[in-house]
Structure 1
Amino acid sequence: CVANANDDNNQCQMNLSKIRDAKVANPDLSDAVKSDIDTTVHRAEAALARHNDDGGRECVALTQQALQKAQSH
């Protein structure tokens, strides 16, 4: 079960860095969208910081949402 948590954590970290890249790549994202993405990222980082399976899964789900917003441009 620990391996799954690790996978989620890795996926989460990769998504977080993709989100940062996407924000840089799309400088004309509206402030509302940026703020929405930042809020989602904070929630994802808080979930990741719980260091458990649920936190990892929640982090992946949240970062995927944020990533779609960052790229849906």
Structure 2
Amino acid sequence: MKRSALAGLFMTAAMLASPAFAAGDKDLCQINLDKINNGKALLATDTSGKSGEVDTAVAQAKAAHAAGDDKKCIEITSKTLQDLQNSEKGGE
């Protein structure tokens, strides 16, 4: 269940990141942040330290978003979503 949920999150983020589907950088940044926050619930029992890495990435993305650098926010959040998916597959 976890794997399919994160795979779905990743696929949605990948589609939204595509220029054909992007509704705007500001919207995509917030969408990705929301997806990460939803995915963090799956890390509640994580002992590998991945949750701390996600928290750091979210803080960096929010700072970039607040500074008006939505492209940086999207870059950080897209990578974090991908990392979450990879960790569910057993990779890093």
**Do both proteins adopt the same fold according to a TM-score greater than 0.5, normalized to the shorter chain?**
yes
| Deviating 4+ runs (over 6 angstroms) | none
Partner of 2:35: 18
* Consecutive unaligned residues in structure 1, runs of 5 or more: 1-5
Matches within 5 A, 1:23-34: 23-30=40-47, 32-34=49-51
The TM-score, its normalising length taken from structure 2, stands at 0.62
Structure with higher RCO (Cα < 8 A, 6+ apart):
1
| Deviations 1:47-70 (CA, angstroms, capped at 9, x unpaired) | 00012xxx1000000001111222
**What percentage of residue pairs aligned between the two structures are identical?**
31
Q: State the alpha-carbon separation in 2 of the partners of residues 60 and 30 from structure 1.
A: 27
User: How many aligned positions are there?
Assistant: 65
Partner of 2:71: 57
Q: Structure 1 residues 42, 70: CA separation in 2 closer, same or farther (over 3 Å shift)?
A: same
* Consecutive unaligned residues in structure 2, runs of 5 or more: 1-22
Q: State the alpha-carbon separation in 1 of the partners of residues 48 and 31 from structure 2.
A: 24
Partner of 2:53: 36
The structure with more helix, counted as a fraction of residues: 1
